[in-house]
Amino acid sequence: MDVAVKMQDIVKKFGDFVANDGINLTVKKGEVHAILGENGAGKSTLMNILYGLYHPTSGKIFIDGKETAIGTPQKAIDLGIGMVHQHFMLIPPFTVTENIALGMEDTKGVVLDLKKSREKIVELSKKYGLSVDPDAKIEDISVGMQQRVEIIKVLYRGANTLILDEPTASLTPQEIVELMDIIKSLTKDGKSVILITHKLKEIKACADSCTIIRHGKYIDTVDVKVTSESELAAMMVGRDVSFTVEKEKREPGEVVLEVKNICAKDYRKVDILKSLSLNVRRGEIVGIAGVDGNGQSELVEILTGLKKAESGSVTILGKNAFNVTPRQSFDMGITSIPEDRQKHGLVLDFTVAENLILQNFEKEPFSKSGILNDKNIEVHAKKLIEKFDIRPNDSAKKAAKTLSGGNQQKVIIAREVTNDSDLLIAVNPTRGLDVGAIEFVHRYLVEQRNKDKAVLLVSFELDEIMNLSDRIEVIFDGQITGEVLGEDADEKELGLLMAGGKKDE
């Protein structure tokens, strides 16, 4: 097979930080080539170089055998490279046709000729089985269709090599299956697909070869057919995979959180939680497994007071906690490690010390009759910075935004663990963190459990759920569709449940 894209010894430095350190990549025509690596391994940097958004510090790029300097997205497009970004680049109030034609509009004289563009779109849509409604507005169509629009957008520009950045992150299982079919129809037509992912299953399902990157370094390129998932995982992480967390067996105690028949609608007024019930007891970690978009976020928002449910009941240690405010939720004993630490977890412009008392600033010793006590606030901060090893260790008076992602997460963990409430909710607590920080987070979640607190873990990472949970509840389409004990968990079975299958079948 001919080579479509070859990247050789690519180095990219941001100041002192080396994001890519001598990476090699060879993508053949007509193949699906996966790029596997943990968050922060350097996958996106590499692809942004290929798409002309970044300039490599050193290294060579060959397109169709010719050495090329890319430089701008426009040049990449001209060279037949197209990228579907993880966060879609679509204009919500524009129609599908307008979004695809934008920047390459057909005109009759000075007048736009969207009809002509529309015809081309319909043609592409038929050819590759990408069903879209060319006249619908983006804001009215599903995430799956939005992704197909993005793929057509790339094909419309004559792309031969398509980069798909974490394409399944927000798709339903059904939509993932459809995407796999689309990818196959693309490669059948001689196009190459570069698939950026950290999901092993998807690689096994549709990739031909796979390049593994770890900490910015090139590890290997392997033939997917002859490599097992665990081998891939070992290469990705750099040691034996299952970083099982040490935890002694415990008998769970009284029920802390009891959720019964919760129903809720999302912002589009569509039913998102359909009579969901759940409980968490003292001394156990309950993991909620499921694909993004099945109601997890809404459930957490309801528990933490950010969203109102339509009906149902919530109790904490027997007390009614249905549709409370965030303040009431906190006072009743719910604390949480939010999914988006920069948006919800921290006030980035506040100092670390201020962030550490974000919920407790009105209490003694941090303030008295409305006046803040700076000295006590600082002493508190220094204590936690030392205990939780937040770096730099003189950061009490520094703005939280100056800290690294891992240390920002440590600030949140320090605050929430110190709050020591009866129920700790953690949502994707390790997203975007490196291995060391992940272990840190896991250690404290288990510690809370061992201190006889209840822990509710929501994660899209099945490994994380399986490693930490005493009990796993699978969420699908706004309902709990299955319950598995942590020690009995089986990835296949969970996967089936997450896709809407029934346990007994």
Partner 1 sequence: MDVLIRNLGLLINAILIATPPLLLAALGSCFSERSGVVNIGIEGMMTIGAFIGACVAYFSGNGWLGFFAGGLSGAVLGVIHAIACIQFGADQTISGTAINFIGPGLAVFLCKAIFDNSSDSPALDTAAKLPKMFEGVFKSGSFGYNVFSTYSVAYLSFILVLVVWFVFYKTKFGMHLRAVGEHPQACATLGVNVYLTRYICVILSGFLAGLGGAFVTLATVSQFRPAVIVGQGFIAIAAVIFGKFKPQGAFKACLLFGLCNGIKALLGAGNAVSPNLVSMIPYVVTILALVFVVGSTRVPAANGKPFLKAR
Partner 2 sequence: MSKKNSILSSNAFYTLISIVIGFIVGAILLSIAKINPLDAYKQLFNGVFGKPKFMVWCLIYAAPLIFTGLSVAFSFKTGVFNIGAEGQFVVGSLTACVLGILIKAPAIIHVPLCFIGAALAGGIWGAIVGVLKIKKGVNEVLSYIMFNWIAFYLSNFVVNLGIIHKDGGGEATKDIAETARILAPKSIIAATGASATNYGFILAIIFAVIVWFIINRTTLGFKLRAVGFSNTAAQYAGIDTGKSFLTAMAFSGALAGIGGAVQLMGMSGRISQFSGQEGYGFQGITVALIASSNPIACIFAGIFYGAMKYGGGKLSLVNAPAEVVDIIMGIIILFIAISSLFKNIFLNHGKKGAV
Task: Return d(Cα 139, Cα 143) in angstroms, integer.
Answer: 10
- H helix or E strand, kind and range, residue 133: none
Task: Pick the binder of partner 1 from 104, 177, 347, 485 (CB under 8 A).
Answer: 104
* Closest to partner 1 by CB, 94 or 350: 94
Q: Which residues pair with 62 in a beta bridge?
A: 6, 67
Q: Annotate each residue in 388-407 with x if it binds partner 1 (CB under 8 A) or - if it does not, as one string.
A: --------------------
Binding of partner 1 by 73 (CB under 8 A) = yes
Binding of partner 1 by 13 (CB under 8 A) = no
- Where does this chain touch partner 1 (CB under 8 A) — which range of 16-24, 48-56, 182-190, 418-426? 48-56
Which residues, including other chains, have CB under 8 Å from residue 49's CB and lie 6 or more apart? Answer: 7, 10, 12, 20, 55, 56, 61, 70
Query: Strand 454-459's sheet: what is its strand order?
Result: 334-337, 423-427, 454-459, 285-289, 471-476, 479-485
Q: Quick one: the chain helix, strand, coil %, rounded to 5?
A: 35, 30, 35
| 338: partner contacted, choices partner 1, partner 2, none (Cβ within 5-8 A by kind) | partner 2
Please confirm whether the linkage preceding 326 is cis (ω < 30° from 0): no
Residue given tokens 């197909």 in the structure block = 148
Residues that bind partner 2 (CB under 8 A): 14-17, 19, 54, 304-306, 325-327, 329-331, 338, 343-350, 354, 358-359, 361-362, 367, 370-372
- Find the binding residues for partner 1 in span 132-161 (CB under 8 A): 153
Binding of partner 1 by 112 (CB under 8 A) = yes
Binding-site size for partner 1 (CB under 8 A) equals: 25
* Closest to partner 2 by CB, 168 or 428: 428
CA-closest candidate to residue 45, choices 94, 10, 84 = 10
User: What's the token pair of residue 292?
Assistant: 């993004």
* Closest to partner 1 by CB, 90 or 425: 90
| 111: partner contacted, choices partner 2, partner 1, none (Cβ within 5-8 A by kind) | partner 1
Task: Pick the binder of partner 1 from 1, 69, 91, 177 (CB under 8 A).
Answer: 91
| 345: partner contacted, choices partner 2, partner 1, none (Cβ within 5-8 A by kind) | partner 2
- Find the binding residues for partner 1 in span 152-211 (CB under 8 A): 153
The answer to whether the CB of 429 falls within 8 A of the CB of 441 is: yes
CA-closest candidate to residue 456, choices 291, 251, 282, 250 = 282
Give least dist CB 398 to partner 2, A: 11
Q: Greatest CA separation found in the chain?
A: 77
The answer to whether the CB of 399 falls within 8 A of the CB of 392 is: no
The answer to whether the CB of 290 falls within 8 A of the CB of 498 is: yes
The helix/strand/coil state of 114 is helix
The answer to whether the CB of 224 falls within 8 A of the CB of 204 is: yes
Task: Pick the binder of partner 1 from 67, 71, 86, 92 (CB under 8 A).
Answer: 92
* Closest to partner 2 by CB, 325 or 393: 325
Binding of partner 1 by 69 (CB under 8 A) = no
| 253: partner contacted, choices partner 2, partner 1, none (Cβ within 5-8 A by kind) | none
Q: Which residues are near partner 1 by CB under 8 A?
A: 53-55, 73-74, 77, 83, 85, 89-94, 98-99, 102-105, 107, 110-112, 153
